[in-house]
Amino acid sequence: VCDRIAATLHAGNHVWLIGDVPLSQTPPPQIEPAPNNPWGWLDDPYSDVWGAQIGYFVAIHATEGEVVPIPSSNPVSPLENVQVVSVAGWQETSAAHGD
């Protein structure tokens, strides 16, 4: 996935992040493949880490980003009211980031 994001940003295009993707320049935790963790086969911890990995990759490489507002005059369920972020641009990072 990170390779596809990198190629898209290198080409001058936008990547759209939908949902709770935490953008952080702090490296995400490393976890062992299932079921070799305390969570066994539970998917939430793995989904959280995968999201953190994408958020970290985008945070250290994209040069632009903005939250895209999606106005609605109708009530929206909290489960369907997700954040949309558009990122663009590319920057290389130092070896300190582990890329």
Whole-angstrom distance, CA of residue 11 vs CA of residue 56: 20
Tell me the residue length of the chain.
99
Q: What is the pLDDT confidence band of residue 96, given thresholds at 50, 70 and 90?
A: very low
Note the pLDDT of residue 99: 54
pLDDT tens-place string over residues 5-58: 999 999 999 999 999 899 999 999 999 999 998 999 999 999 999 999 999 999
3-state secondary structure of 27: coil
What are the helix (H) ranges across 31-73? 43-61
Decide which of 76 and 17 is more confident.
17
